[in-house]
Structure 1
Amino acid sequence: MSYPFEHDDETLWDAGYHSGQLYASLAQGAAGFLDVPSGLTPTPQGGCDVDGEMFQAFVERLYGLYASTTNEVLRGLAQGLLVTSLVLLDRAGGTITLRPEDVAVLDGVKSTLARSMAV
């Protein structure tokens, strides 16, 4: 059983059911914490529609949190959600600007993770 994330009739990630549910739940929780909509809308079929504009704003805000703190626990908690979100954002045709000091780390982890995120 899968949990697809779709944008404009295109599957961005055909996640496993548990992985997809966990990611969607974490994104909704982070969106509430960040006071911004996640851009993810659960579907009756069991998955999420991704609103490109809202999702990009969410990812920008999440990255802002990640980039603005020196608290390693907070950065670690945000990083997994951020990297997964960056993969989805790329696949939806969006992008955000990363600080030069974050590019190598986040792009490397994102590239590795993207290979395991089936479409």
Structure 2
Amino acid sequence: MSQYYQARDIVLWNPSSGVSRVFRAQVRLFEDELSLASGVGPMEVDECEVDVEQFGTFAAALLTYRGTSNHQILRAMMDGFVITVLALAERAGVEVRPSGLVGRQHDVQAGSGQAPSVETEDDLRQRAHAMLRFMPR
């Protein structure tokens, strides 16, 4: 079984039902965290309409949120979701730039140990582009 994410007539993604459940749970989590609707509509008869404009705003806020924390664990937990969102935005033709919606620093890394290097925004975008080949339509 699979489910369709579409923007009007364009199928953005057709993941398996299990992958879709995980993605939708992460969408809900970050809608709550950002206090912002994602534009990902309800799943009805294995189809979900994505409001491209709203999704672009959500993606920008998500990228900003990730960028305003230096907490390595938070970033590591977010990166796969951010990459997926950026890939879907690219497929939908949405340009995503960090926004000012969530701009102050949060979840600051405590401790004196030096964390491993973290992917930059450009790294995330490159991985998102590469991920598109694994995201069937």
TM-based fold match above 0.5 = yes
Percent identity between matched residues is 24
Structure with a larger share of its residues in strand: 1
Gaps of 5+ in 1: none
Structure with a larger share of its residues in helix: 1
Q: How does 1:1-119 map to 2 (within 5 A)?
A: 1-97=1-97, 101-103=120-122, 105-119=123-137
TM-score, normalised by the number of residues in structure 1:
0.90
Following TM superposition, by how much is the alpha carbon of 1:32 offset from its aligned partner in structure 2, in angstroms? 1.0
TM-score, normalised by the number of residues in structure 2:
0.79
Contact 1:5 1:13 in 2 (8 A): yes
RMSD over equivalenced CA pairs, Å: 1.3
The residue matched to 1:91 in structure 2 has which SS? helix
Following TM superposition, by how much is the alpha carbon of 1:79 offset from its aligned partner in structure 2, in angstroms? 1.0
Gaps of 5+ in 2: 99-119
The residue matched to 1:6 in structure 2 has which SS? strand
* Bigger Rg, which one: 2
The residue matched to 2:14 in structure 1 has which SS? strand
